[in-house]
Each structure stands twice: as C-alpha cells, then as structure tokens.
C-alpha cells in the first residue's frame, strides 16, 4: 500500500505552548511562533544564542506545521522538564570562564547555583513562569508535571484549526486511525508517548540534593524499592487515562534512580548543566520493577519500552532482563528506539561501555555520530528480532560526526540542490548502516522518522519544521532513484554505489521511501496498537 501522507513517531507539539504560561498558556499547539525571550539582553542576542546552542527555539511540530507537511499521524511525546536541568554544573572547570558562570547562574538565596530562568528561557523557548514553578514549587512530577501537560494537549481533541481545514483526533487504537482517515483525510491522528519515567515518580528531588549529588556514582548502591509504591499508584492511574501512552523511555537527561542514562546534552547546554550523576550506569532493581508495571496487562493496557536515552550498560542489562523475564515465556514484545542515529564499525554494547564518548565526540574523522547514545549493531539486531521500530532523528548532532555538517555548509562550490543532497547523504548513511547490520530486506521494515522536533534539536538546515517533511521525503526519494557513493575525503566512512544498490535488496526507491515516511509505522500500529 502506498501512503500519501507522512508519519512521525517522536515530536513535542505540546512542550513550548504548555510552557508558555502554566496556568494560562499564551499559545496553543496550533499556531507557529518564534522564541519569545523574556530577558531584554538575551532577547537582543536571540540569533547568537541559537547559533551557539545549536537549537531552533521557534515551534516546529505545532499542528499547523503538521498540516502543511502532510504529517497525518504522530506520536506526541509528553516530556515534563527535569529539575536537574535548572541546576548549574558545579564542576570547577565546567565553564569557560567565571564571567560566563556569573552570567548564567543565580545568586539569590536559596536558589544559589541554579541556572537563571531568563537563561533557560533563552535556551529552550519555555516561559519564565513555568521554569520558576519547576525549580521553586514543583513537588510531584506526576501530579504537577505529567498530568497537566497531558490535560493541556488532549483538550484539543476533535478541535479544528481557525480555517477549519483539518481536525485533531486523539486515538485509542489502530482502528480509530483508520476510521478517522476514512472520514476525513485531513485529520491529524495523535497517539501519546512519554519521554522519561521520572514523570511516573512522586517527589521531585530537592535542589540541595541535586547540587550535592553531581558526579555521584550509584553502581554500588543496594537495591532500594521504597519509591516503588509511587510508581505503582501513578502507573495504575495513568493506565486509566482516556488516551493511554503507547510507549515510554525509562530515562531522559538525568539520573532518576531507575537506570543509567547516556550523555545527551552537547555544546552550550552540556556546559551549563551536569549529567554526571549516574551517567552510563546499569539498570537498577527499581527500574526492573517499573518496567514490569508498564508491561503488565492486568493493570491496564501494556505500555511498550522505548530504549532511547538508556546508557549502553543499561541497554545491555535491559535486554538480559527481558530475555529471562519475558522472551523465555514467548512474550517477545516489540522494542522501539523512537529518535536516534547509529554508530558504525559494527560495534557491540561492550564496545560502547568501554569507549570514551568525549574522545569520540571530538574525533574529526567520524562521519556518523559515534557516541554511545546512538544505536550500535547489537541494538539494531535486538530491535529487528522483535520486529520493532527505529525512528531516525532529524538532528545534525545525532546523525553526523563532529565536523561533517560544517564541511558541507562551508563548501562554497555547492549550489542549493547539491547542498540538500549532501544533507540527505548523511541521513541515508544512517539508514544504510542499519540495513547493512540486519543484512536482509527486513532491515527496511524497521525504519521510520522520529524527528524530535521541538525537542531542543539542531535541525537539518533545509528541514527546520514538520512543514518541510514533503521536501525531505522527495529529496530522499530522488537520492534513492539516482544514488551515488556516500563518502567524504578525510573521513572514516563510506558506502560505495554497488553496496547501496545491494542494500536496497530489490526494493524500488518509491517502496523504500514509503516505508520510511509512513508504511512501516502504519504496519507496526496495525500489529501492536490494538487496545
């Protein structure tokens, strides 16, 4: 079947509008708007801030952009801000100089060494009132973070845009998608997901603990199941929602007691805040119990596990856990990585556990993004074994090496069409690496788009929002119709033209493009979204 629309399994249409005024949002998820910086000085530096942070701060996956981009099915990620995002990195050499530290950190008691809300506003597009609530007043992630964002987003169910040219429809199962599409092809169908299981806990960490515990290891901590009752109650409550989330990541940017996270924050943001507590550690006993609660079907619908943001050791522990707890009982539920790139060199999880991510990040010979937050060959094969999904992230810093994008941008000999083709080459390198790992036609069945739009990404230049999804789809199609060698002088990666043709496994360019931009997700939902 050929689909005349696009699908995105990971974007954040509610994040910026919800955080544009917690009690009385200034915006809805419908309209497009630019970053609205509260501080007058930072506002004057808006363009420079975007260039330094490598993040687009205007809306990207709002409903109007989805409509323009013919994106008719999305999985919208609810992602309440972690409190640790507002605590300054206290490592002595974390800031380039004391002046920068003085500019971004708060001095007022008792909020010393937190990041000024005006700075976080400038870096994220979130309004000051929401940031101040998170750092000063939020006491419960589930009740005061996740539930309000869910209520905010889902209140737009069955609403139309101002011109009444399309309708928003939240769906409970695959059949509702089919029914909505048959009734009106302009309908945008929305499923819910969650990024970060910290949102299912209760008490929010104290600022003093977040300051004190930076850099703390939890590898030798004894099992602590005391917080489990909070998860039991909140997951039971969540599974009674009208629109139960389809999948959830165990981790996000910071330690949550469930398992180790991978380093994810780069550039300016990664300097200002610290991810060091519990980074790259394994899966904890508490995390295993939470996974069991999510996968149970006696407490409500099963919620699948998204492995994004797990550290390599956590992923390794997770696979071992589900193999002995579920797979041995012939319960091989599908695995998802909703938004990612892929590392090359056929590496295993043990390789990623041992590698120095900082060294890889600054290795100027890397064509792909080789850091351990991305999938390795072992991850890809696990996902393939379960007939899962891999969402390719439309983020320069996840799909490309440290300097390859700059080399492309700075090549003055490239016209616009050639420049676009170079971007698509980098994107396709990730696709072909995954298919090469599986080494059968099935590899193409795993792939889809998980853009991470509105998720603080460094978007690909020609595709800044979901409105440009048809352009990206057409550019990928054209590359597959007339492929050429993927390589760059001085870099350690290439896919030669005969290999590209072999890896298409007899599929046409049109068939592959349709799979990536819609078909694979629709098949996956037909097989797995039947509550």
Q: 140 - beta bridge partners?
A: 203
CATH topology classification for 6-528: TIM Barrel (3.20.20)
Is the omega angle on the peptide bond into residue 110 within 30 degrees of 0, that is, cis? yes
Characterize the bridge pairing of strands 494-495 and 486-487: antiparallel
Question: What's the mean pLDDT when you consider all of the chain?
Answer: 93
For 44, how many CA atoms within 13 A lie in the half-sphere containing its CB? 2
> What are the tens digits of pLDDT across the range 96-137?
556 667 778 898 888 888 998 888 887 788 998 999 999 999
pLDDT higher for 53 or 10?
A: 10
Those residues whose C-beta lies under 8 Å from the C-beta of residue 193, and which sit 6 or more positions away, are: 9, 10, 75, 76, 77, 78, 245, 246, 247, 248, 306, 338
- Distance, in Å, from the CA atom of 468 to the CA atom of 114, rounded to the nearest integer, reads 37
**Worst-scoring range by mean pLDDT, 325-329, 339-343, 412-416, 474-478?**
412-416
Q: Which two tokens stand for residue 63?
A: 């409903």
**What percent of the chain has a predicted confidence (pLDDT) above 70?**
94
> What are the tens digits of pLDDT across the range 188-203?
999 999 999 999 998 9
Most confident of 55-69, 310-324, 340-354: 310-324
Q: Give CA 459 to chain center in angstroms.
A: 12
- Distance, in Å, from the CA atom of 219 to the CA atom of 221, rounded to the nearest integer, reads 6
> What are the tens digits of pLDDT across the range 430-475?
999 999 999 999 999 999 999 999 998 989 999 999 999 999 999 9
**What percent of the chain has a predicted confidence (pLDDT) above 90?**
79
pLDDT-based confidence at residue 527 (cuts at 50, 70, 90): very high
pLDDT of 55: 59
Judged against a pLDDT cut of 60, whether residue 44 lies above it is answered with: no
Average pLDDT over residues 494-518: 98
The whole-model pTM stands at: 0.96
If you count DSSP H runs as helices and E runs as strands, how many of each does the chain have, helices first? 25, 11
SS3 readout for 51-70: HHHCCCCCCCCCHHHHHHCC
> What are the tens digits of pLDDT across the range 362-376?
898 999 999 999 999
Nearest to 290 by CA among 338, 342, 235, 339: 235
For 206, how many CA atoms within 13 A lie in the half-sphere containing its CB? 4
Judged against a pLDDT cut of 70, whether residue 399 lies above it is answered with: yes
Q: 3-state SS of the chain: helix, strand, coil percent to 5? A: 45, 10, 45
**Worst-scoring range by mean pLDDT, 85-89, 205-209, 344-348, 418-422?**
344-348
pLDDT-based confidence at residue 92 (cuts at 50, 70, 90): low
Please, what's the b/e burial string for 296-313 (b: 16 or more CB within 10 A of its CB; e: otherwise)? Answer: eeeebbbbbbbbbbbbbb
**3-class secondary structure, 162:** coil
192 phi, psi to nearest 5 deg: -110, 140
Average pLDDT over residues 469-486: 98
pLDDT of 48: 47
pLDDT-based confidence at residue 90 (cuts at 50, 70, 90): confident
pLDDT of 43: 53
Q: In the chain, what are the domain boundaries?
A: 6-528
Those residues whose C-beta lies under 8 Å from the C-beta of residue 415, and which sit 6 or more positions away, are: none
**CB of 478 closer than 8 Å to CB of 35:** no
pLDDT of 124: 83
SS3 readout for 341-379: CECCCCCCHHHHHHCCHHHHHCCCCCCCCCCCCCECHHH
pLDDT of 341: 98
Those residues whose C-beta lies under 8 Å from the C-beta of residue 444, and which sit 6 or more positions away, are: 435, 505, 507, 512, 515, 516, 520
> Tokens 């899966």 map to which residue?
283
pLDDT-based confidence at residue 91 (cuts at 50, 70, 90): confident
């Amino acid at each position: 079947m050929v689909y005349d629309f696009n699908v995105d399994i990971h974007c954040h249409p509610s994040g910026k509008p919800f955080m544009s005024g917690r009690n009385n949002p200034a915006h809805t998820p419908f309209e497009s708007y630019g970053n609205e910086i509260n501080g007058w000085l930072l506002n004057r530096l808006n363009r420079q801030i975007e260039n330094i942070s490598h993040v687009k701060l205007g809306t990207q996956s709002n409903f109007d952009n989805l409509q323009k981009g013919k994106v008719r099915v999305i999985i919208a990620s609810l992602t309440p801000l972690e409190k640790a995002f507002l605590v300054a990195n206290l490592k002595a050499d974390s800031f380039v100089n004391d002046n920068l530290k003085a500019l971004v950190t708060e001095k007022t008691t008792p909020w010393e060494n937190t990041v000024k809300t005006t700075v976080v506003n400038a870096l994220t597009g979130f309004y000051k009132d929401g940031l101040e609530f998170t750092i000063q007043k939020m006491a419960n992630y589930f009740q005061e973070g996740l539930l309000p964002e869910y209520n905010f987003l889902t209140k737009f169910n069955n609403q139309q845009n101002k011109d009444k040219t399309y309708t928003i429809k939240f769906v409970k199962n695959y059949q509702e998608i089919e029914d909505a599409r048959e009734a009106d092809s302009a309908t945008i169908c929305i499923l819910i997901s969650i990024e970060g299981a910290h949102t299912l806990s209760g008490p929010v960490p104290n600022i003093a603990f977040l300051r004190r515990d930076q850099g703390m290891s939890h590898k030798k901590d004894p099992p602590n199941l005391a917080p489990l009752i909070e998860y039991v109650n909140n997951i039971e409550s969540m599974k009674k929602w009208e629109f139960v989330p389809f999948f959830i990541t165990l981790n996000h940017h910071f330690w949550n007691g469930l398992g180790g996270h991978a380093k994810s924050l780069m550039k300016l943001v990664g300097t200002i805040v610290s991810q060091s507590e519990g980074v790259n550690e394994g899966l904890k006993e508490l995390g295993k119990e939470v996974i069991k609660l999510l996968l149970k079907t006696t407490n409500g619908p099963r919620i699948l596990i998204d492995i994004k943001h797990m550290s390599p050791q956590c992923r390794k522990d997770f696979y071992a856990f589900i193999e002995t707890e579920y797979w041995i009982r012939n319960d091989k539920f599908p695995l998802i990585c909703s938004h990612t790139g892929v590392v090359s060199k056929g590496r295993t999880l043990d390789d990623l556990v041992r590698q120095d991510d900082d060294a890889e990040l600054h290795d100027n010979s890397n064509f792909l993004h080789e850091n351990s937050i991305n999938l390795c060959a072992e991850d890809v094969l696990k996902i393939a074994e379960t007939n899962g999904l891999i969402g390719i992230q439309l983020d320069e810093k996840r799909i490309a090496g440290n300097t390859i994008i700059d080399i492309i941008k700075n090549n003055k000999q490239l016209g616009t069409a050639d420049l676009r083709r170079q971007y698509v080459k980098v994107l396709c390198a990730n696709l072909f690496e995954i298919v090469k790992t599986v080494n059968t036609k099935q590899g193409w069945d795993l792939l889809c788009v998980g853009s991470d739009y509105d998720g603080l990404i460094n978007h690909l230049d020609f595709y800044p929002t979901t409105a440009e999804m048809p352009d990206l789809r057409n550019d990928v199609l054209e590359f597959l119709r007339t492929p050429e060698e993927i390589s760059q002088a001085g870099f350690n990666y290439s896919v030669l033209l005969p290999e590209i043709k072999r890896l298409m496994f007899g599929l046409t360019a049109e068939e592959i493009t349709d799979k990536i931009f819609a078909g694979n997700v629709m098949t996956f939902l037909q097989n797995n979204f039947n509550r």
